[in-house]
Structure 1
Amino acid sequence: MLINFFAGLLLVYCAMSALCLGIKRHYKNVWKREPQTYVCRALRVAGWLLLGAGFMACVSSWGWAMGPIGWLGQVSLAGLLLVMSLPYKPRLALILPVISAPVWLLAWAVL
């Protein structure tokens, strides 16, 4: 149950990061170059798909009664973390989910 909670939080944080990078201004701020149009579209689609995956992780963790409410809380928490870290260390804010994903997969495989 706790693994599903952190899985949902990680998926939602990755989704918020992808949606953030789908905006040209934020992409340029992080990577110091203009993005291609297809890259922005792919990031937006990936962000929405990851939001859906996070929703399903919350529903599998808490059920249909509390899952959507927990998902909204996780979206708020992930958005707050991203908004607070992006102006100061933009690359660290986007590398954090890449680093934590293998740790989560290892923990999920063990349990």
Structure 2
Amino acid sequence: MTYGLIVLTALGLCFAGMAALSLAIDRHHRQVYGDDAPARKRLLLRTGAVLLLALAIVPCVVLWGAGAGFVAWIGMLTIGALLAAVLLPYWPRRVAPLAAAAGALSIAGLASLALT
């Protein structure tokens, strides 16, 4: 797997995780879906977000090693949060499909990284 694809995998996981975390907040959920999130859905979104954000450290550590990988992961978290924060006010209905696609493609990239 090339350098750029590994970075995109980490960015996709961070964006999907931050978008899920944002949609767990009632205000953003109402902005996207028109109503508040039920408690079960909110818990599912938060759990999924934590898993995606935890998985995002793997490509960073594989690419840069433990020390620099952790620092790069923090930077990827920042970029993922910025993407979600910019998309939510301007295209709120597109955030969920984009995050789902980014998450699915990034998990596939992570699986291919594990196979190599």
TM range (shorter): 0.7 to 0.9
Task: From 24, 39, 42, give the equivalent of 1:40.
Answer: 42
Q: Deviations 1:48-71 (Å, cap 9, x if unpaired)?
A: 111100012211121112101111
Task: From 49, 57, 60, give the equivalent of 1:58.
Answer: 60
Q: TM-score, normalised by structure 2?
A: 0.82
Q: How does 1:1-111 map to 2 (within 5 A)?
A: 1-101=3-103, 105=108
Q: TM-score, normalised by structure 1?
A: 0.85
RCO higher in structure (CA 8 A, sep ≥6): 2
- Superposition RMSD in Å: 2.0
Equivalenced residues, count: 109
Structure 1: any 5+ residue segments left out of the alignment?
none
Match of 1:33, SS?
coil
Q: Is the 8 A contact 2:10 2:56 kept in 1?
A: yes
Runs of 4+ in structure 1 displaced over 6 angstroms? none
Structure 2: any 5+ residue segments left out of the alignment?
none
